[in-house]
Amino acid sequence: MNTGKDPDRDVLIGQAIQWFRNQGWEPFPFQRKTWEAFLGGKHGLLNAPTGSGKTYALWFPILLQYLREHPGFRQKVPQGLKAVWITPLRALSQEIRQSAERITRDLEIPFTVGIRTGDTSQSERARQRQKMPDLLITTPESLQLLLATKGYAQSFRSCYAIVVDEWHELLGSKRGVQMELALSRLKTVSPSLRIWGISATIGNLDQARQVLLGPESEALQNSVLIRAQLSKKITVKSLLPEKMETFPWRGHLGLHLLEQVIPVINNSKTTLIFTNTRSQCEIWFQKILEREPGFAGEIAMHHGSIDKETRLWVEEAIRKERLKAVVCTSSLDLGVDFAPVETVIQIGGPKGVARFLQRAGRSGHRPGEESLIYFLPTHAIELVEAAALQRTVEGEGVEDRIPYINSFDVLVQYLTTLAVSDGFYPGEIFREVSDTFCFQAMTRDQWEWLLKFLVLGSQSLQTYDEYKKVEVMEDGKFKVNNRGVAMRHRFQIGTIVGDADLVVRYQKGGYIGTIEEWFISKLRKGDVFTFAGRNLEFIRIREMQVLVQKSARKTAKVPSWMGGRLTLSAQMSELLRQELYSATLPRDRQSLEIRSLAPLFERQRWESVVPGPGEFLIETFQTREGFHHLFYPFEGRFVHEAMASLLSYRISLLSPITFSLAYNDYGFELLSDRELDMQMVLDNDLFTVEYLMEDLQKSLNATEMARRKFRDIAVISGLVFTGYPNKGVKMKHLQSNSQLLFDVFRDYEPDHLLFQQAFRETFEHQLEEGRLRLALERIASQKVVWKACEKPTPFSFPIITDRLREKLSSEKLADRIRRMTRLLTRQGRR
Amino acid sequence: MTHSVEFGGENLQLHSWGALYWERESLLLLSDLHLGKITHFRKYGAAVPRRALHRNFQRLDGLCETFKPKRICFLGDLFHSHMNREWALFEQWAGQCPCELELVVGNHDIVSPLRYEAVGVLCSESLTKGPFLLTHHPLEQFEGFNLSGHVHPAVRLKGPGRQQLRLPCFYLNGRQMILPAFGAFTGSHVMEPRPGDRIFALAEDQIIPLQEPAGKMT
């Protein structure tokens, strides 16, 4: 500690205020509150939206704290890391660095600011290992990687602040768990650490603070929650087609409204066009250019698969007002301050209030300016969603982000990380880990189980076994000594799992981006696909690289990225139902959107009915595909997934039957090769909440949902290797299929904690048992309207055409096979 | 459990575990066991459930009991990788097995033939038995009838109500029959049948012959 005079806190804050005034600004109350709390030694969570000046709310006190402790700061800066800023998106790191450097420059603090993300070069990383920058900006994954390096404890000793930016984005994901674990370690190795989170508005802010700091921790006791409370005016406008009759019932692109988008772009300085998927982004970009070739050079595209250089260039160009429009995905959701953005267009339902508000907030980015967002529905029923969105901006309900509990896969990864670097003593780490929110309820037995798993790869020692990972040293330290194990583990760190990514390159050289393997696997030589805004002809795959050349052909396939399917939050579903029910009201009491949907509702009434608030609609009809049974709870995709699974399971108990299940945000379908006796379904009270948990649990075993969750768990916990094409590392001999692994676990170790986790996660994060129960209770109070229809109805159309399906069967395999008439043959496919 | 099929003028029994028994010769044929694969993964830190590896041996014993064959012939990919301790289990099994053992060497079989011979397994590139030519890889051109493995054949079925199934199978194409993979931790490859091909699917404890696809397209 420096012995110089400790200047008073107000004097320090005075410096910050002076700096603001020099820029011609005045600090917001939330910024001052944060400065005071930080300098008063508090931890905390700052609730502030993007573009509100939240970076200055935390960089300032971090730097002022340094000034307070080192009055001789200009002469010599003591070596070592001072503060870490965590950002979930690499794209944001430049921006955060710039705001830090702006302050250090003006206050003449000779600090170095470093960035360490997946984009950081090997040589830069090596330099950082030699000498840490004073301020480090990094991602949760890269922070884990730092914990996997020898002597990490020494590197972090001098660190006195860590800021977790966009905490709401991390909270409901396994990256959040990764962050909780890293913080639990840093609390010990960095004795004077202050922990701060920054979060946009979500429903469970108090819980967010608990998760960040630890539910029973001293840090939580000594913390504050600061709310920015900047009321920002947001206006939502729906883009409506001129003729409703031609509006498609389904289709996720929304291109029929292209004509309406052009004038919006023309009338605004810079427009951000948000799409929900990367493929949609690619197509829109191309179509806009085709429609308005004059935009060439003035519009750009931004999504996660495009290489870093291009993304940075786009971000810079937005700031410099060189672009009319940028078509983007959630890659531009966060952070970056793009003052010139005047208008935002949302294509397709954003599926969540918080996300929508955040996107709306991207326009009129300066505090106090009005935000304008256009909503472009991609199919008719989405217009109902548009109407619901209008009401959300008046502040009706923002959803929760549900934190993960007992994510053993992430814990296994973390413990291996510690074993790879300096090794760990279980006693010490158990105390730290059980103080986290995620593992607060972990039992001693589960912990012991995990330790055994790390060392033996099972729960008992067998002589012929050669399992090799973590070893227990003589003094009880858990350590990885094998270099191969350590190397493979470092490659594997990161909890966001996708398909294997392949690098796309021109045959003559030149990196374009990365693309998921399964898309490429469908291409043949000579096929043309759209990627990064270009039409590319597929030549071949060589050493995990996709070689392509430019193509002049117009029509092309567009890669679809799996990503997460978005679903409506409970609040959105509620608003959506209210809007839908207004279809039965007189015209003058309907919103513009509902009124313009009149033709669709008319058609629906002709074929079936439009349900009112007290009604639960069931439709049945037959097509060439089989017998369709549709149910419309309007509760959002996840609830429908659970309900479809539950209902089909209960029906399958009555008699052997096989179902194919499909769902969207409005309802779900049970498709079968024979007709259900719907009266029997209704008479047997199959929507009851009795035995709900039990039946749902059993239905999970009958479907494939847990199997899909297991894929991620297997990768995160190191049960399977994915290979690392980007890094030129091939481990083909160790690649296995997680499906195969799932079967082996099911048959031989069904009580394995990681196998069980797949079921638990499906339950806790996907099926939302609580919401399902409420929905079933609501249905119980409604009148069932069952319509036997002639043919598909407007409501049913988007559901029955969905190809992403679940299946459930209570029939004997041999019986099913005997009824399958069609073998997929080469001929059959053509 | 078994299904009889005539192939090459001989009567062969297909077993639902993926084995083929030729009674007249008292010969049991198995392909693609990939022993050692689980241990190989574990050795590199991927904790595949160890108990799964016993299934191979339990089933081998079960088949010996059912058919009491004089000889067992493995159609390649018997041992998945370099030596590991799972070999000891195989050695033990081979030592107490009363049958003559033969191996048609596959691409995965990199363990030295000397080691096989030390445990009484005769190795060769291919074998001729009666009308049959036994190989690991299915042959493009050959005399007589070819029995092989390597491919891990499976078949995809479609039915009304958007039903789909994928099942491992015996795959019979003219004078060629491909056996399914017998091993516990092995994947499968979906075939694209042509008219005239015959398929025998493994469905739990049954073998189900599938209709010839020719003429049954919808």
A682 shares a domain with A545:
no
pLDDT band at A828 (very low <50, low <70, confident <90, very high): very low
Q: Is B215 on the interface with A (CB under 8 A)?
A: no
Which of B163, B173, B185, B190 should be substituted to probe chain A, the one whose Cβ sees the most A Cβ atoms within 10 Å? B163
| Three-class SS of A217-274 | CHHHHCEEEEECCCCCCEEEEECCCCCHHHCCCCCCCCHHHHHHHHHHHHCCCEEEEE
- pLDDT for A497 beyond 50: no
Examine residue A475 and state whether it is found in any structural domain, yes or no.
Answer: yes
A189 shares a domain with A287:
no
Specify the pLDDT at position A827. Answer: 39
A709 shares a domain with A625:
yes
A80 shares a domain with A134:
yes
Q: Are A238 and A593 in contact (CB under 8 A)?
A: yes
**Per-residue model confidence as pLDDT tens digits over A230-281:** 666 777 888 887 776 666 656 567 788 888 899 999 988 889 999 877 888 8
Residue of B nearest to A671 (CA): B161
**Per-residue model confidence as pLDDT tens digits over A558-595:** 554 433 344 566 777 777 788 888 888 888 888 777 88
Q: Are A146 and A152 in contact (CB under 8 A)?
A: yes
Q: What are the CA-CA distances from residue A140 to residues A58, A132, A143, A180, B12 (Å)? A: 19, 17, 5, 10, 59
Q: Give the position of tokens 């055409």.
A: A801
Q: Which among B48, B50, B190 is the nearest to A741, CB-wise?
A: B48
A387 shares a domain with A328:
yes
Beta-carbon contacts of B118 under 8 Å, excluding residues fewer than 6 positions away, are: none
What is the count of residue pairs from A and B with beta carbons less than 8 Å apart? 170
A255 shares a domain with A342:
yes
What domain range is B28 assigned to? 2-210
Residue of B nearest to A483 (CA): B44
Beta-carbon contacts of A754 under 8 Å, excluding residues fewer than 6 positions away, are: A408, A409, A412, A713, A714, A717, A719, A745
pLDDT band at A213 (very low <50, low <70, confident <90, very high): very high
Q: Are B161 and A669 in contact (CB under 8 A)?
A: no
Examine residue B91 and state whether it is found in any structural domain, yes or no.
Answer: yes
- pLDDT for B26 beyond 90: yes
Examine residue A531 and state whether it is found in any structural domain, yes or no.
Answer: yes
- % chain A with pLDDT above 90: 36
Cα gap A377→A390, rounded to integer Å: 13
**Per-residue model confidence as pLDDT tens digits over A513-524:** 766 655 665 567
Q: What is the DSSP letter of A726?
A: G
Specify the pLDDT at position A725. Answer: 45
Which of B44, B200, B206 should be substituted to probe chain A, the one whose Cβ sees the most A Cβ atoms within 10 Å? B44
Specify the CATH number for the domain of residue A351. 3.40.50.300
**Per-residue model confidence as pLDDT tens digits over A768-801:** 777 888 899 999 999 999 999 999 998 898 888 8
CA distance B130 to chain A (A): 32
- pLDDT for A383 beyond 70: yes
- pLDDT for B63 beyond 90: yes
The answer to whether the CB atoms of B210 and A741 lie below 8 A apart is no
**Which contacts (CB < 8 Å, 24+ apart) does range A130-136 have?**
A131/A79, A132/A80, A132/A81, A133/A81, A134/A77, A134/A80, A134/A81, A134/A82, A134/A83, A135/A62, A135/A82, A135/A83, A135/A84, A135/A85, A135/A100, A135/A104, A135/A111, A136/A81, A136/A83, A136/A84, A136/A85
Cα gap A441→A824, rounded to integer Å: 49
Q: What are the CA-CA distances from residue A713 to residues A495, A741, A760, B40 (Å)? A: 9, 11, 12, 21
* Number of domains within chain A: 5
Specify the pLDDT at position A728. Answer: 44
| Average pLDDT of the segment spanning A79-95 | 86
Examine residue A308 and state whether it is found in any structural domain, yes or no.
Answer: yes
**Per-residue model confidence as pLDDT tens digits over A615-669:** 999 999 999 889 999 999 988 888 898 899 999 999 999 889 999 999 888 899 9
- pLDDT for A732 beyond 80: no
* Span of A129-143, A359-373, A395-409, B198-212 with lowest mean pLDDT: A359-373
pLDDT band at B216 (very low <50, low <70, confident <90, very high): very low
CA distance B209 to chain A (A): 9
* Number of domains within chain B: 1
- Rounded to 5, what percent of chain B is helix, strand, coil? 20, 35, 45
Examine residue B117 and state whether it is found in any structural domain, yes or no.
Answer: yes
pLDDT band at A675 (very low <50, low <70, confident <90, very high): very high
Q: What's the whole-number average pLDDT of chain A? A: 83
pLDDT band at A532 (very low <50, low <70, confident <90, very high): low
ipTM: 0.89
Categorise residue B76: left if φ over 0, alpha if ψ from -120 to 50, beta otherwise. left
Q: Is B208 on the interface with A (CB under 8 A)?
A: yes
Q: Are A1 and A69 in contact (CB under 8 A)?
A: yes
CA distance B39 to chain A (A): 7
- pLDDT for A3 beyond 50: no
B162 phi and psi angles, rounded to 5 deg: 55, 35
Specify the pLDDT at position B215. Answer: 39
- pLDDT for B214 beyond 50: no
What domain range is A800 assigned to? 608-819
- % chain B with pLDDT above 70: 96
Examine residue A594 and state whether it is found in any structural domain, yes or no.
Answer: no
Cα gap B197→A825, rounded to integer Å: 10
Specify the pLDDT at position A498. Answer: 40
Higher pLDDT, A430 or A533: A430
A478 shares a domain with A379:
no
Q: Which among B81, B85, B158 is the nearest to A820, CB-wise?
A: B158
The answer to whether the CB atoms of B85 and A466 lie below 8 A apart is yes
A178 shares a domain with A253:
no
Q: Are A739 and A715 in contact (CB under 8 A)?
A: no
Residues 24-53 of B with CB under 8 A from A: 39-52
Examine residue A570 and state whether it is found in any structural domain, yes or no.
Answer: no
Cα gap A759→A406, rounded to integer Å: 12
Residues of A in contact with B85 (CB under 8 A): 464-466
- Rounded to 5, what percent of chain A is helix, strand, coil? 45, 15, 40
Residues 93-112 of B with CB under 8 A from A: none
Q: What is the pTM of this model?
A: 0.81
Cα gap B35→B209, rounded to integer Å: 28
A465 shares a domain with A321:
no
A242 shares a domain with A172:
no
b (16+ CB within 10 A) / e for A160-184: bbbbbbbbbbbbbbbbbbbbbbbbb
Strand order, beta sheet including B20-22? B2-7, B10-15, B20-22, B27-30, B71-74, B100-104, B121-124
The answer to whether the CB atoms of B208 and A720 lie below 8 A apart is no
CA distance A803 to chain B (A): 9
Q: What is the DSSP letter of A424?
A: B
Q: Is B85 on the interface with A (CB under 8 A)?
A: yes
Specify the CATH number for the domain of residue B82. 3.60.21
Q: Which among B85, B163, B218 is the nearest to A673, CB-wise?
A: B163
Residues 167-206 of B with CB under 8 A from A: 167, 184-187, 190, 192-195, 199, 201, 203-204, 206
CA distance B178 to chain A (A): 17
pLDDT band at A351 (very low <50, low <70, confident <90, very high): low
Examine residue A565 and state whether it is found in any structural domain, yes or no.
Answer: no
Q: Are A648 and A659 in contact (CB under 8 A)?
A: yes
Specify the pLDDT at position A185. Answer: 97
CA distance A683 to chain B (A): 24
Specify the pLDDT at position B74. Answer: 97
| Three-class SS of A148-215 | CCCCHHHHHCCCCEEEECCHHHHHCCHHHHHHHHHHHHHHHHCCCCEEEEEECCCCCHHHHHHHHHCC
Examine residue A806 and state whether it is found in any structural domain, yes or no.
Answer: yes
Which of A205, A227, A249 is a domain's end point?
A: A227
A640 shares a domain with A782:
yes
Q: Which amino acid is present at A677?
A: D
The answer to whether the CB atoms of B208 and A814 lie below 8 A apart is yes
| Average pLDDT of the segment spanning A378-387 | 75
The answer to whether the CB atoms of A733 and B81 lie below 8 A apart is yes
In sequence order, what are the beta bridge partners of B155? B167
The answer to whether the CB atoms of B162 and A660 lie below 8 A apart is yes
- pLDDT for A613 beyond 90: no
Examine residue B191 and state whether it is found in any structural domain, yes or no.
Answer: yes
A274 phi and psi angles, rounded to 5 deg: -90, 130
